[in-house]
Structure 1
Amino acid sequence: MSVLLAVILAGAMAMTQTELRLGAGRRTLLEDREALLSALDLVAFDTALVGRSYIASLPRTVTVAGTPVRVSLAPAQTRLDINMANDEAWMALFTSLGEPDTTARRLTDQILDWRDNDEMTRPQGAERTDYPTGSRKSPENRPFVSVTELVQVLDITPERLACIAPYLTVFGGTPEGEIELAAEEFASAMDGVRVAFQADIVRPDGGVSSLAALALFGANRNRPFDWVAFPVEEFNPGGCNATAPAGGEPA
């Protein structure tokens, strides 16, 4: 009986220790997230006050409740946002990756036709009636919700998607050139500018906690920015020699 009681007691103690460790882990995660959010808020407020020159000064380390947090521009800041990119941006991307001008024009028009909210076909584009009967691909006439959704465009094959995806995002910041134009007038230097930030905590044991956020800045000095997205890690297939998940049959 005493042996049985000892076994039961040992099991109960082990379970208690496990629950304590789990509780401590959850507490650490919550504390890290609060520190990350606070650091993002501090840097965004400073960006709103100072303007473009503050963006150029990143990364910076701020201390929140004794925890150092490194805040930098997120990778999405320098990627092409597939829901805001215009004809010229798409053409430049495709031609820089080796597509002939005629192919780049066709792919650009097809992407814009998929994304716009009408059924009017661009000169080399494709609307619903231009897709093969029975195809799983179809233009949705709405913004893309992810980079992988590009494979639903008529001539975007999995191989093409793998090639262009590392340069794309759906959480894009305002391109640097446009920020420079906004900064010409200080009063409206950040009005309408989007900036993708990333905060990182590196713990002594080598563990890392990270949080990315997309801020939209406005002219209201009492509320100079809003967090409009907290993106997760985006799809990156590794470049032109990799194969992306199909999500639909190749054209």
Structure 2
Amino acid sequence: MQWLGPEEWQAVALSLKVSFWATLLSLPLALLVALALARGRFRGKALLNGVVHLPLILPPVVTGYILLIVFSGPSPVGTALNAVGIVFAFRWTGAALAAAIMGFPLMVRAIRLSLEAVDPRLEQAAATLGASGIWVFVTITLPLILPGVLAGAVLGFAKAMGEFGATITFVSNIPGQTRTLPSAIYAFLQVPGGETAAFRLVIISVALAMAALLASEWLARRVADRVRGARC
């Protein structure tokens, strides 16, 4: 990484930090939502599915603006969070929140597909032997869907690394604070002579995205192989 300048390396490091926390904190919720959508039978399921996937449909700038309205200081939510020392607007934590929301649908979809591929007869067989629902999930379901969970995490991480519209609208483009990899590329392209630095960051972005896609594809194949092996 010596060919990167200090400002470029700072943007890469911040993107990795934002993406890590966005993925880590949203993964448990994505698993619960995927379970509800794959196995749940309740009124409002279609609405929940629509809300979960809304960030994929809305322009990212709209998502960022909604976050700014909800979590900025004057809003009731922002005021309550500020009272306990939690600030999102124009902070790296806000970049992590925006990245988590934008990557959340991809995580839920990957996990949901893995859940729907599991043969319910395997879980029913364990239940007939006296295992509780939680124990069946931990010992049967979770091992089968683990590659799918990891694939969702990889996709969510990659999406967080590439998130731009919602992030720059919600937390701006502050060097050292909220300037992530995409924001840095945009900033370098706005100044004369910044094309070289932007190109170096583009190479890193492409490499990370390709690695994430390959990892996700490999994990998806692992899901299919594991489910086929369990059925046999």
Fold conserved between structures, TM > 0.5: no
Larger Rg over CA atoms: 1
Structure having the higher helix fraction is: 2
TM-score for the superposition, normalised by structure 1: 0.28
Q: Which has the higher contact order (CA 8 A, sep 6+)?
A: 2
